[in-house]
Amino acid sequence: MSEIGDKTLAGSWPFGATEKRQLAVKFKVSLLQCLRDYEQYSITTTPSLEDLISLANRFEEACRILDECSGNCETLAATFRNYAGISPHAEPRAAEAARFARSSGKEVILTRTTIEELKGADVSLAQIEGGNAIVCHGDDYWGTPVDRLIILADEEEQALVDEDETPSVPDEVAFFLRLKEDELGNALQFMALTGRVGQMEFRSPDGEKAGSVFVEHGRIVHAECDGHEAVKALATLFNKGALEGCFTDGAIPAKKTITLKTDQLLIEAAVMADEVRSGRST
């Protein structure tokens, strides 16, 4: 296995499957929470036009940044396939061109080029034409396949990294949910779909502990609530009304009490919750 110093070549990029999923899910949850906050806020207050436009602009800026990250990943995928003697996939080039379309003027480097002046040089992206890019170096313009571009961080973005000389992905990433009555089932299904490993601890809006749910790789494996476990614990949680939840990555239950698939589990818990509310359950 190739080694660089005290690490392998394959391990030189720190974002493994878990880290990528953690960052992606945290981002998705934050978007959903923003929508939920708006829905709650707009019930009693009319949002200002300025606030709405500001949010829209921030989401569009996030799209550009994420497009650049995605395009850079596709470039490196094509580059390392080339190093391995494998022809890069042709299909992603058009998609990558679309992702970089809003990055005109940004500084870039080329991962591969036969033009001596451009090797290792910082150049700027002038424009995208089909699956090719026009880059500027000094007073000269050159054409290159778009799957050889890496968009560099601008000064503002680099300053965020420079604030911490040893940036890293934290071992634990927590996210929060505020759930209205009848939203718990959707939240649990979402937790399972993320493929995360960890614990969601639920509390009432006034801070009183309500219960906990543990997930592992797409399955709910344990639940606790009011001294109950497994399906009965979930049924009890369903009857708690509005809840707030805090998810901690990596938390493992002392035991696993649930083996049912998520859809079947949630159906059984919902039926049991209905029976409890109607007074038919003991």
H/E element, 22: helix 17-44
CB 101 within 8 A of CB 93: no
Q: How many domains does the chain have?
A: 2
Rounded CA separation 31/191 (Å): 15
Task: Name, of 10-24, 47-61, 95-109, 146-160, the range with top average pLDDT.
Answer: 47-61
Task: Report DSSP state, residue 135.
Answer: E
User: What is the rounded average pLDDT for all residues in the chain?
Assistant: 79
Range of the domain at 200: 175-277
What is the mean predicted confidence (pLDDT) over 45-63? 88
Q: Please tell me whether residues 57 and 150 are part of one structural domain.
A: yes
CB 278 within 8 A of CB 202: no
| pLDDT at 17 exceeding the cut of 70 | no
More confident residue, 181 or 67: 67
- Using DSSP's 3-state secondary structure scheme, residue 131 falls into coil
pLDDT at 167: 38
Q: Which of 132, 162, 192 finishes a domain?
A: 162
pLDDT at 224: 93
pLDDT at 251: 83
pLDDT at 165: 44
Q: Which of 110, 131, 162 finishes a domain?
A: 162
What is the mean predicted confidence (pLDDT) over 173-194? 76
Alpha carbon distances (Å) from 189 to 32, 111, 182, 194, 261: 14, 41, 13, 9, 11
